[in-house]
Amino acid sequence: MKAVHVGKAAERVRAARLNAIRRIQQLAKEETVDFVLVAGDTFEDHGVSRKLVSEIGDLLAGFDCDVYLIPGNHDPATMGGVWDQARQNWAKRVHILTERQPVQIPGGWLYPCPLAQRWSDEDPTEWIPADAGDGIRIGLAHGSLKSPLWEGQHNHPIPIDAAQRSGLDYLALGDWHSVKEIPSRGGIVRMAYSGTPEPTNFGEPESGYVLMVEIDAKGGRPRLEKRKVNELHWHNQPVEVHQSGDLARLTKALKQRPNPTETLVKVQLSGVLFAAEAELLEELPELLSKRFLFGKVDDSALIPDPSDDSWIHNLPEGTIRTAAKRIQSTAYDKKDPVARRALVELYRLANGGAA
């Protein structure tokens, strides 16, 4: 992942994603796992260097067990793509599965569902035969849930009963960035998203894990356990300002937050900006940038205190002051988000801040 959305912290974010592989490697060794599954989107896209492809291959080859992976919708199996490079250099114990055909694994069979294109309305698991066969049956797929309640985009839709329909003991899923278990009607979880081992953005509360899955025998109930493996923490902080002092309390809490050099913070402010705390609003971005690995403030939902318009008299007489009064009316009466944004900028200007 290029991680351009976090500016100067991008290099550290990229390094953390490689370190996550090493932590998973150690966990797999400690738990003596039979094999590791990677459910797509190993790469953000095909525009990666040969050096990085080689480095990922070396890391995956360092597992004490076989690793099976499929192309996802960000790195689909296309001619001349990243997987052509990988096949030339990666160790044999790292299995790049680009064909929809059963693969024998310790204790049973794996049914990979690799993707060959970025977008599709087709179910990638539809090909899996429903006949039982010998041993434990595990599917490996990448896509969204085919459900009206699905939280993300509908792409490569997978039915919520795909595991049951195909007679699978377990279906490992990729695409959704947080851990998500999909129980069957009987309450047994035979399908789950493991999420990303390192978060990719703010608002991914259940990312930073791998799933340890144990199945005793064919038809047995899978036992799933989340294991934390992330290095960095992405903290999304929504704050609704109701009274004077709320911004001061937020500032104090941020100063006390642990592991600041390993934390990325996004503060989302809404509510009322009081004149007594206008200066704190100016100081907040500087606090975040100096203390944390990355910091961002979104104050687009703030409005100046409606009960106090004395600040308008600090603006230059004439057009600017007249415009401020008109914008104030639009922002409060019509709740226009553009007017609110303009009003906050004028408010900052009136209080000596940078517009």
pLDDT in tens, the chain (355 residues): 999 999 999 999 999 999 999 999 999 999 999 999 999 999 999 999 999 999 999 999 999 999 999 999 999 999 999 999 999 999 999 999 999 999 999 999 999 999 999 999 999 999 999 976 789 999 999 999 998 888 888 999 999 999 999 999 999 999 999 999 999 888 999 999 999 999 999 999 999 999 999 999 999 999 999 999 999 999 999 999 988 899 999 999 999 999 999 999 999 999 888 877 878 888 999 999 999 999 999 988 888 777 677 777 777 888 887 887 777 777 766 567 787 777 777 777 776 655 4
Show the CA angle centred on residue 207, arms to residues 201 and 208, nearest 5°: 105
Q: Could you tell me where the DSSP H helices lie in the chain?
A: 10-31, 50-61, 82-89, 162-165, 246-256, 278-291, 319-333, 337-350
Amino acid at 107: G
Residues 6+ positions from 156 with CB-CB distance below 8 Å: 73, 115, 119, 120, 122, 123, 124, 142, 143, 144, 175
Element (H, E) at 309: none
Residues 6+ positions from 256 with CB-CB distance below 8 Å: none
Q: How many CA atoms, within 13 angstroms, populate the side-chain half-sphere of residue 283?
A: 11
Would you state the pLDDT for residue 96?
Answer: 98
**Matching residue, tokens 């944390």:** 292
Tell me the two tokens of residue 107: 């204790």
Would you state the pLDDT for residue 353?
Answer: 58
Q: What is the pTM of this model?
A: 0.87
Amino acid at 3: A
Give CA–CA dist 207/176, Å, rounded. 9
Would you state the pLDDT for residue 307?
Answer: 67
Three-class secondary structure of residue 330 per DSSP: helix
Please say whether the beta carbons of 294 and 301 come within 8 A.
Answer: no
Would you state the pLDDT for residue 333?
Answer: 63
C-alpha torsion 283→285→291→293, nearest 10 = 180
Please say whether the beta carbons of 125 and 131 come within 8 A.
Answer: no
